[in-house]
Amino acid sequence: MADREIEQRAEQLRSEIAEHNRRYYELDEPTVSDAEYDELVRQLSAIEEEFPELITPDSPTQRVSGAPVTTVFAPVTHAVPMMSLDNVFGEDELQAWVERLHRRLAGTPAASDDESSDEVGYVCELKIDGLAISIRYEQGRYVRAATRGDGRTGEDVTENVRTIGQIPERLGGDAPPVVEVRGEIYMALSAFAALNERQVAAGLRPFVNPRNAAAGALRQKDPRITAERELALWSYQLGQVEGGPAFTSHHETLDWLGSLGFPVNPEIRRVSGPAEVLDLCVHWQQHRHDLDYEIDGVVIKVDDLARQHRLGFTSKAPRWAIAYKFPPEERTTRLNDIMVSIGRTGRATPYAVLEPVFVGGVTVSQATLHNEDQVRAKDVRPGDKVVVRRAGDVIPEVLGAVVAERPAGTEPWQFPTECPCPLRSTLVRPEGEAEHRCINPECPFQRQGAIEHFASRGALDIDALGEKRIAQLIDAGMVASVADLYELDWDKVTQLERMGETSAANLRASIEASRDKPLPRLLVGLNIRHLGPAGAEALASAFGTLDRIRAASVDELAAADGVGTIIAESVHTWFADPANRELVERLRAAGLNFEAPAGDGQPKVLAGKTVVVTGTLEGFSRDEAEAAIKARGGKSPGSVSKKTTAMVVGDSPGAAKVTKAEALGVPVLDEAGFRELLETGELLG
């Protein structure tokens, strides 16, 4: 027998997991992230694998999680149990599962020679982050919908599911006497964003994520509330079927589900071997955010139904399927404090100081809280346990507090009234705006941010002038504004700590090169609120020189294509400030470029046309492709619409853009077609 310490640890894990299951499946109020839950299950599985005598019949490793809430909804017994899935994390665990599967197939009756090789076919499906559902039809009529529950007994949510428009009320005349459709109910990200906007507008706490919002919607007592939440369904499996057609493969069942009118995810793929399975998993791990719904992995199923039957089930999961889980993008941690940062325009942004947590592939110790309204709506407080999300390259964000574990005696956080800089200037929130601002132009935080912005890649691109170097120059009293960069005493610069002659020469060369940057880059670098690269390009094109832009009225500025009133008013106000006019004159004296380039002589074959570029092209960088389009009179926005003339697709394109282009009938071009379009203005074919 295992020693008492290990036995106690197993008991503790079983108790923790059971409590987390109750909060997740019954209360829809989880207190840990999916990744943290998975880690607890993995620890318990490892103990039980090493000490099988500790396995109990009620262990979470031996049964499907989630008891039905029969106090609110009537119980429904599933004619065919709704199993859960075992998980793998990464290539090695996936390969180990494939090897176990091949060994089992080779050791069963009716095994064939190919089952020890890569010839076992698979179907790969996106693992939707939603709620499993079973929908039953009798004589072609919708009669019942039930949650998975504990796998054998679920909750009757028939009327709530009836409100989902994708789900047929009746099937066609050739429908079998009984058919159960299994799938995942989810909330689209766009619907989730709209729901949270309504929550905030009504003074209610926003939902933490789409899965919780969908679960809450499905368990409403009033189906009218469910209908307002815009739930959706992806179907992926058959349950009980009586009198239906005979199938030999899983993908045939999916085709049949589609023919009956059920939504089947368009990203499902049939693949032949483990290498293709892994390629697909890696692809969706990289492109998961191209979708309008959340996924947390890929489900891999043996395609051949006879092989599925021979592989069978464990007590809780099929042996012929596995879930390849992506690295977590949400974790829970402790919120130690809320502080405020001051940006280059004086914007005051609250941010969370966190106990460091590994999420989204990096260790996160700070996360944005956006503004006062967001902090109030989420009601996060120092001392709270909070949910932190980092998706792809997006700045980490605090989604909300785990209110069930809030320490006693905490008070709602109040936005400070003073800037955290040494000047302690007053922070103001202009009427009608969501952001507080420090309005003192001498604020050192604004000064540092403005110089960093001026030197950034999208502005003057002074690549040798990083954040630490700027701080060093400011601390030495050498730089107080961007104009000072062009008046540096280089003998003194070389005497700064960690600034040898080579570093000083590189910095000087970068600053010198910035004098010749195009006018749109200078306009961006001036740090004018609301003016970004597109607006700067539009102003430079419309007026030709900085002096003409400075002298223009608000109406004249707003008349430029792509500018508008908000940008025009901001630009006009900026140039009206005497301090800014003095800055402009110093930059003129420093020899910066105040004129837009003369016409490049390119024929305007794309005038009035809109071309979107996605993916990586061999002969153009993204900036070069967009510049080539604009040089020929066209527009190159970042999104596809009905007005898009064509979309150019390179390697690793955005899947959502391609899908939308195909849905709208927008022509899709490869690089050769793009070159033809640039030359002639016409689409090949």
Do 391 and 457 have their domain in common?
Answer: no
Mean pLDDT of 210-232: 87
Q: Is pLDDT larger for residue 641 or for residue 321?
A: 321
In-domain check, residue 58:
yes
User: Which of 438, 471, 448, 592 lies closest to 527, judged by CA?
Assistant: 448
Does the structure show a pLDDT above 50 at 111? Answer: yes
At 28 the pLDDT is: 62
Whichever domain contains 485, its CATH number is 1.10.150.20
Same domain, 46 and 156: no
> Of 514, 526, 507, which Cα lies nearest the Cα of 454?
526
Secondary structure class of 323 (helix, strand, coil): strand
Residues 182 and 224 grouped into a single domain: yes
- 527 vs 624, more confident: 527
Give pLDDT, residue 116: 47
127 noted as active-site residue: yes
Q: Residue 271: what pLDDT?
A: 92
> CATH number for the domain including 20?
1.10.287.610
Supply the DSSP symbol for 117.
T
What is d(CA 283, CA 319) in angstroms, rounded to the nearest whole number?
24
pLDDT of res. 327:
78
Structure tokens at 440: 């003192």
Distance, CA of 277 to CA of 548 (rounded, Å): 59
> 179-211 b/e with 16+ CB inside 10 Å = b?
bbbbbbbbbbeebbeebbeeebeeeeebbbbbb
Residue-range definition of the domain harbouring residue 478? 444-514
The least confident of 417-431, 509-523, 540-554, 655-669 is 655-669
Last residue of a domain, one of 536, 557, 589: 589
Whether 124 has a pLDDT exceeding 90, the answer reads yes
Position with higher pLDDT, 544 vs 110? 544
Spatial distance between the Cα atoms of 533 and 437, rounded to a whole number of angstroms: 23
CA 148-152-158 angle, to 5 degrees, is: 45
**What pLDDT digit, counting tens, does each position of 304-343 carry?**
999 999 999 887 789 999 999 887 778 899 999 999 998 8
Residue 81 in any domain: the answer is no
Find the mean pLDDT for residues 363-385. 90
Give a yes or no: residue 606 inside a domain: no
- Final residue before a domain boundary, out of 496, 514, 532: 514
Would you state the pLDDT for residue 661?
85
Does 91 map to a domain? Answer: yes
Across 345-350, average pLDDT: 88
pTM for the predicted model, two decimal places: 0.55
> Span 161-169, mean pLDDT?
90
Rounded CA gap, 353 and 386, in Å? 11
Q: How confident is the prediction for the chain on average, in pLDDT? A: 86
**Does residue 548 register a pLDDT over 90?**
yes
Does the pLDDT of residue 25 top 70, yes or no? no
Number of domains in the chain: 6
- Residue 74: inside a domain: no
Do 321 and 457 lie in a common domain?
Answer: no
CATH of residue 387: 2.40.50.140
Calpha distance 599→414 (Å, rounded): 54
- Mean predicted confidence (pLDDT) in 664-674: 87
Q: Which of 289, 310, 325 is the last residue of a domain?
A: 325
Residues with Cβ within 8 Å of residue 640, at least 6 apart in sequence = 612, 647, 657, 660, 661, 664, 666
Cβ neighbours for 358, distance < 8 A, ≥ 6 positions apart: 331, 364
For residue 44, name the pLDDT band (cuts at 50, 70, 90): confident
423 and 510 belong to one structural domain:
no
Kindly state whether residue 82 falls inside one of the protein's structural domains: no
In this structure, are 534 and 623 located in the same domain? no
Q: What 3-state class would DSSP assign to 610?
A: strand
Find out whether 126 and 117 touch, Cβ atoms under 8 Å: no
User: What is the model's pLDDT at position 38?
Assistant: 78
Q: Measure the N-to-C terminal CA separation of the chain; round to a whole number of Å.
A: 75
Is 595 within the bounds of a domain? no
User: 127, 301, 657, 660: which is the annotated catalytic residue?
Assistant: 127
Q: Are residues 507 and 618 in the same domain?
A: no
Of 121 and 9, more confident:
121
| pLDDT for 6 | 82
Band of pLDDT at residue 600, cut at 50, 70 and 90: low
Between 415 and 149, residue with greater pLDDT: 415
